Structure 1
């Protein structure tokens, strides 16, 4: 748990060992951290200096940060000298074929192809040491409280998150909830989080709290069965104990009468759950009716169904009157109401906005900002980050209506902002998207929400994929699509094209029982491309959700720094890859002189069952890249404008927005901005 907290918060829980002299170890710790791009705060070094178990404690700290940036693995490229001496593709294939008497036509049958021919130590000997640079990343680790205090603090932070958590954070919250059952978690605004906490209470036979819809009970049953609390994926419900069945049915009985219409959305799941709960064995009539509705033995029109009937009848005003009873749904239907000519939409939004969550208000603002004209293509991503594309056939919205509704929503957000005497925004976060959902990103280090832009310098941009198979032989292929300023396809780099001018591939590794890594280098002064879109293609084997480990990351360095292919101190970001598609699009890059601009995508394409290659996805890649760069997001820059409209107050605190906590504290991180916009 100490390692988890360090990786999650960059706070190091205090050692619980006896006092002692750890001064020498503290100095060694500081040096070891610098090699992987980290630095211990003064308070942390003082704490290590005064502990008797300083050696073991320091090893744990270093191990945690290595895992954070992906440095725990041995990253050994196929071509030992990479990026030097990368051969021509055909020349390399002929060399591999020359080792066999008869070629079957399959490269994977060749003994030399896809299997690293040198040891990790031999690879290291072929590279000079990294020359340190002021441009190298340095991330500060801070001293936290006791381990028990940090566990509690992290539990409360996750439970109180106003935005849905990502998969890794949901799993962590579930683990922490079992350790903190007796701790009141206060307000839990996100329904998935309530279900996770209630699942822990259900198993421990504690009273359930916060279940005010039938779907809340379904989420709880899914989580308690080890299934998907978001209800995106079907859950195989377990057999519940009698006391658990009674608790679930009692909770369902309390809320069912006013929520029967919600049953239709997950009708099949309700039918499966009914087989496990045996509702007719208990005296809960309303709960029994829920399963009758699911089996279509009782007919109930849902709230959403009433809205659809009104639109189908061409009565947008009736639809508006119905939606007025559900403020959140009304805001989500604003585009449709305006398109269908509903009257007084602005007034309805003004009445509903105070009762709507901050993340819905932000999503409405972002949506309206992109409705001035039709998009070249509409790019959708579900909560699992799988992408699909459609033509944009919607007519543009009336600019006057958009401006009026936007003003109402912005006024409500300004009202919710905290009072401040001065606003300080770190320049590096101005183009970061204000996070409204943890499902639009991945777990990792330096990872930002989808649409966020980052800027960094360096003669060389290097990105990498690392994976480790679990059971089956698994072949992931790192590739890069090269596009010009008009997003036209100008070539690629992959196992089928090892190098182009200014772009170099480290070689194809086709199995990973102990882990495998592939790299691509981009040299700014020689690259003939404006945009570069990295892809990770599953050629064969286990999917991103099935492998033991998978990650994507990128680093930058100057040409004269040299160093081995993977240098932890140059890693700018390291992102996990967990998704249902067969092709991952983690990020895209834009070259501007000697600088690089990255835009986070966090998307997955369906792909094919095997044999995915970058050449197959070139048209989709162009559309996604163009859509990502042209879309207007709700960023910290826009949030700063809203702060300016609110105006400062002399006796209020300073608000400082940055990527991470400063040495002196007092920084609102980007991850915490969702709290700021919630009521």
Structure 2
């Protein structure tokens, strides 16, 4: 790898693992490394980070110049992680003080326009565009002037402090991250897939087991380039690989324009297809057009030694027929032959378990269906077992808001739940089977320690909707919100077109009704305040909303980012959302990195982002529940007033859903440790928490927020 790749990789390890890659020390070094390490620790505190004792000791043994170079890179990485790499100006210089009333503000702008002869010529009835008034939507002061208007931040003990630990060499840290992502039992976010691709090209060791097919396609790209055998067990694995090699979508959600393949690559792809039995060809019709286009690039008839590969493309062109499993199952169910459908599904354990609810409602023998499901449980993936477990516990206590559906892009919609209930003993029997099988697959934890703060974190059964960032948790997770002042923010910078994002908040009562809002059309109420509307972000723009939690008259607060005009989230040069918490008397700039609790990029095809919801419980404490949702919205002019019904329904569906949490697996691990007699005397230890403490025994298995996917059993 060249120097630039090394720098990018080092930043990746720091931000994803909170570890600083360090080469093994060559011995004691005379110099000022200890002084430089202390200076770095002080600088890190200003952005809410600090060095662990072990990291300080490692840095102290290095030359001072080396520590300074490392410190510059570490600071740059963590500042970007918190969003402190940009200047966060506010429209009103004194925000949150001296923000005018909404009507007063508009009247003032109109008065200024009428007093200006040039501007007054543009202000003519009968139509008056308030957004075009001079001075609206653009900063009227510099960032330096904003800093001068605000006092220094008063540090409080409750401010966030994230500890950085020492790591191994950059090569070993990269390999560990690669193995973790490649071996993930859950689909990865698009950002993680990109990381996996960059690591696969530089890590010499290639894993032999990659359970998620999209991850497998990325790993296969590296294996194909290195001339290694491909990891394929379905024809679709080969199609995904061809898409990835062409710079396309390995999820197959969008069509790919295939490149020309070298003869050696064509031989390898066709050999992989030829090694699969014809029974696998039933998957071809699902992506028929993509297979036709791929056949035009691979020229399978030039390789007569691969006759079964030729058959794949004959199926795609309709010359040869091949019925897939789904079509055969649907035909059996349509004819009322449920027993035949169950027999077919037993060849694919995951498919059988995903259909168990439907099969139990077909009126067939529940006992026969459950017997088949019990046999399939031992052969299905751990993720399927956990997903079914979550599904069944929600079927026993359905949410009043109905069902919610979320696709791979985070786009969501809700619908009434009109399914017949699952009666009898079937749900209880199935839950017992799942609990037993999941517990069997969990490793013996030895001495188990679980941080109480992680118990209400949802298990990451899919990572697709979660963009990596600071403090990010899976959809459905609950986390406490400490502090008297909640401030959330959005920052964006346009690429080419004028882009206007609007930060807003929908406030609801306990029954998800009586809506109120804060936005550019309503600057304030009794407990919330808006920082002002910015309509152009050529140099970057930031908007804030303050919520005084102790004064809030509504227990549900839903932040949202609306695209009013301009570039979508994934086309803007930069777009991210986050929130901070502060004490009531804690002064400082509108944006203070050490108070940031969460920050993540915005992306997705929707025009309205719903990152999370803040809820006040019966005990009066506030908590955040993570949504990671996007609404389709309108092509332009989206406002909080226009989506409040849809937003309320979706938020209620997520809040009332009983997500499977870390608590569930922790209980199974405790039971397993007790039943097998695994104690501290075995010398093994397992820790599960949001962050790893410094006093863990050597060799401990550690699961933190960034590696919770490793908890999902195979």
| Alignment partner, residue 355 of structure 2 | 333
Q: In structure 1, what is the Cα distance between the partners aligned to 2:217 and 2:688? A: 31
User: Post-superposition shift, 1:673?
Assistant: 4.2
Q: Quote the residue 2:534 is aligned against.
A: 509
Q: Distance in 2 between matches of 1:268 and 1:326?
A: 25
- Could you tell me which residue of structure 2 aligns to residue 110 of structure 1? 133
Corresponding residue for residue 233 of structure 1? 254
In the other structure, the counterpart of 1:200 is: 222
User: Matched residues in 1 for 2:309 and 2:418: separation?
Assistant: 43
Q: Which residue of 2 aligns with 1:457?
A: 482
**Distance across 2 between alignment mates of 1:402 and 1:78:** 56
SS in 2 for 1:532: strand
Partner residue in 1 for 2:47: 36
The alpha-carbon deviation at position 15 of structure 1 amounts to: 5.7
Q: Can you list the C-alpha shifts for 1:312-344, whole angstroms capped at 9, x where unaligned?
A: 112222211111111111110110011113322
Deviation string for 1:205-247 (max 9, x for gaps)? 5133211110000110111111111112222222222222222
Where 2:112 maps in the other structure, the secondary structure is coil
1:594 CA drift (Å): 6.1
Is 1:141 the counterpart of 2:130? The answer is no
CA distance in 2, matches of 1:75, 1:249: 54
Which one of 556, 560, 571 corresponds to residue 546 of structure 1? 571
The correspondence of residues 215-614 of structure 1 with structure 2, limited to 5 A, is 215-255=236-276, 257-283=278-304, 284-343=306-365, 344-372=368-396, 374-375=398-399, 376-592=401-617, 595-614=621-640
Matched residue, 1:675: 710
Matches within 5 A, 1:92-103: 92-100=105-113, 101=120, 102-103=122-123
Whether the 8 Å CA contact 1:435–1:671 is kept in 2: the answer is no
C-alpha distance in 1 between matches for 2:152 and 2:521: 31
Whether the 8 Å CA contact 1:213–1:256 is kept in 2: the answer is no
Q: Which moved more, 1:102-111 or 1:88-97?
A: 102-111
Aligned counterparts of 2:708 and 2:70: Cα–Cα separation in 1: 33
Structure 1 residues 234 and 526, CA gap change in structure 2 (3 angstroms): same
Over 3 Å counting, the alpha-carbon distance change for 1:241 and 1:119 in structure 2 is same
Residue aligning to 2:235: 214
TM-score (normalised: structure 2):
0.92
Q: State the secondary structure of the residue aligned to 1:440.
A: coil
1:638 maps to 664
Q: Which moved more, 1:258-267 or 1:186-195?
A: 186-195
SS at match of 2:351: helix
Structure 2 equivalent of residue 71 of structure 1: 84
**Is 1:62–2:75 an aligned residue pair?**
yes
Residue of structure 1 in register with 2:178 after alignment? 155
In structure 2, the partner of 1:26 is 37
Contact 1:115–1:509 (8 Å) recurs in 2: yes
Cα distance in structure 2, aligned partners of 1:185 and 1:211? 13
In structure 2, the CA distance between the partners of 1:374 and 1:413, relative to structure 1 (3 Å rule), is: closer
Q: CA deviation at 1:82?
A: 1.1
Gap change, CA 1:351 and 1:263, over 3 Å in 2 = same
After superposition, the Cα gap between the structure-2 partners of 1:443 and 1:673, relative to the gap in structure 1 and judged at 3 Å, is: closer
| 1:265-323 deviation line (CA, Å, top 9, x unaligned) | 21222122222222223223222222222222222211111110111112222211111
Q: Which residue of 2 aligns with 1:629?
A: 655
Residue in 1 aligned with 2:3? none
User: Which consecutive residues of structure 2, in runs of 5 or more, have no partner in the other structure?
Assistant: 1-8, 114-119
Distance 1:197-1:433 versus aligned 2 partners, 3 A rule: same
Q: 1:399–1:454: structure 2 CA closer, same or farther, 3 Å change rule?
A: farther
Judged with a 3 Å threshold, the aligned counterparts in structure 2 of structure 1 residues 659 and 196 are, in CA distance, closer, same or farther, namely same
8 Å contact kept, 2:413–2:650 = no
Q: Structure 1 residues 674 and 7, CA, compared in 2 at 3 Å: closer, same or farther? A: closer
What is the distance in 2 between the residues matched to 1:237 and 1:17? 48
Post-superposition Cα deviations, 1:58-105, rounded to whole Å, max 9, x if no partner, equal 111111111111111111111111111121112212222223213262
1:44-59, aligned counterparts within 5 Å? Answer: 44-52=55-63, 53-59=66-72
- Contact 1:160–1:187 (Cα < 8 Å) also in 2: yes
C-alpha displacement at 1:17, in angstroms?
9.7
Indicate conservation of the 8 Å contact 1:270/1:291, yes or no: yes
Contact 1:457 1:594 in 2 (8 A): no
Please give the alpha-carbon distance, in whole angstroms, between the structure 2 residues aligned to 1:237 and 1:106: 48
Note closer, same or farther for the CA distance 1:540–1:528 as it changes in structure 2 (3 Å cut).
same
When the two chains are superposed, the root-mean-square deviation of aligned CA atoms in Å is: 1.8
Change (3 A) 1:229 1:489: farther
Q: Is the 8 A contact 1:462 1:520 kept in 2?
A: yes
State the number of aligned residues. 677
8 Å Cα contact 1:416/1:677 also seen in 2: no
Q: 1:50 to 1:654 in 2, by over 3 A?
A: closer
TM-score (normalizing by structure 1): 0.96
Inter-partner Cα distance in structure 2 for 1:500 and 1:316: 59
After superposition, the C-alpha distances for 1:595-618 in whole angstroms (9 at most, x for unaligned) are 320000001111111111111111
C-alpha distance in structure 2 between counterparts of 1:85 and 1:316, whole Å: 69
Where 1:371 maps in the other structure, the secondary structure is helix
Q: Which moved more, 1:412-421 or 1:643-652?
A: 643-652
CA–CA separation in structure 2 for the residues paired with 1:31 and 1:166: 34
Relative to structure 2, which stretch is displaced further, 234-243 or 439-448? 234-243
Deviates more, 1:483-492 or 1:273-282: 273-282
Q: CA deviation at 1:670?
A: 4.4
Change (3 A) 1:151 1:373: closer
User: Could you tell me whether the CA contact under 8 Å between 1:484 and 1:529 is conserved in 2?
Assistant: yes
Query: By how many angstroms is 1:581 displaced?
Result: 0.6
Deviation of 1:417 (Å): 1.7
Deviation at 1:16, TM superposition (A): 8.3
- Of 282-291 and 439-448, more deviation after overlay is shown by 282-291
What SS is found at the alignment partner of 1:264? helix
| Corresponding position of 1:12 | 20
